[in-house]
Amino acid sequence: MIPTTLLANRLSKVVAADATTLALPAGCVVVPLSADFSPSPNLVPASVTKAPIVPFFPKVPTPGTQFDSVDPVTGELVIQMIEPVGGWHWNTGVGFAGPVTIYGIGLFNDNYTLLFGTAKYATPIVLTGDNQNLDWPNVEFRIDPTRVH
């Protein structure tokens, strides 16, 4: 059976508000990943390497129901993690002992036992010194509603 648009659109609303995944009361965490990986639905926490905690502190999306919408151009369902104050931005600060190569980001539950998704930079970013920035535009999932069966 092929679901109607009504049912497919409901999928993003349910996931965005699910208190056992993206809407965890304690919040999820977004961290830079410092080893190469291939984004895949089959990744688990042991499949990826979190960057050193200092200076790449976890960023916590605003806890609770996340933003969901429909992209008017592509028709994709979009679940966007609500960014924390300061956004998805990391800075090496002063006294950084690099180099560290960052390949992408991972979205985990608050104790890193569940991996909800990963995203990869087109070109890895090599941080080598003090006060270098690392940014990610939006932490979001896109679901093609025509592929929900």
* Rounded mean pLDDT, 10-29: 88
Q: For residue range 53-81, list pLDDT tens digits in order.
A: 777 889 999 989 999 999 999 999 999 99
- Per-residue confidence band for 146, with pLDDT thresholds at 50, 70 and 90: confident
Against a cut of 0.85, is the pTM above it? yes
pLDDT surpasses 70 at 149: no
Question: Are the beta carbons of 107 and 73 closer than 8 angstroms?
Answer: no
Opening angle at CA 29, ends 144 and 45, nearest 5: 75
Q: If you count them, how many residues does the chain have?
A: 149
* Rounded mean pLDDT, 126-145: 92
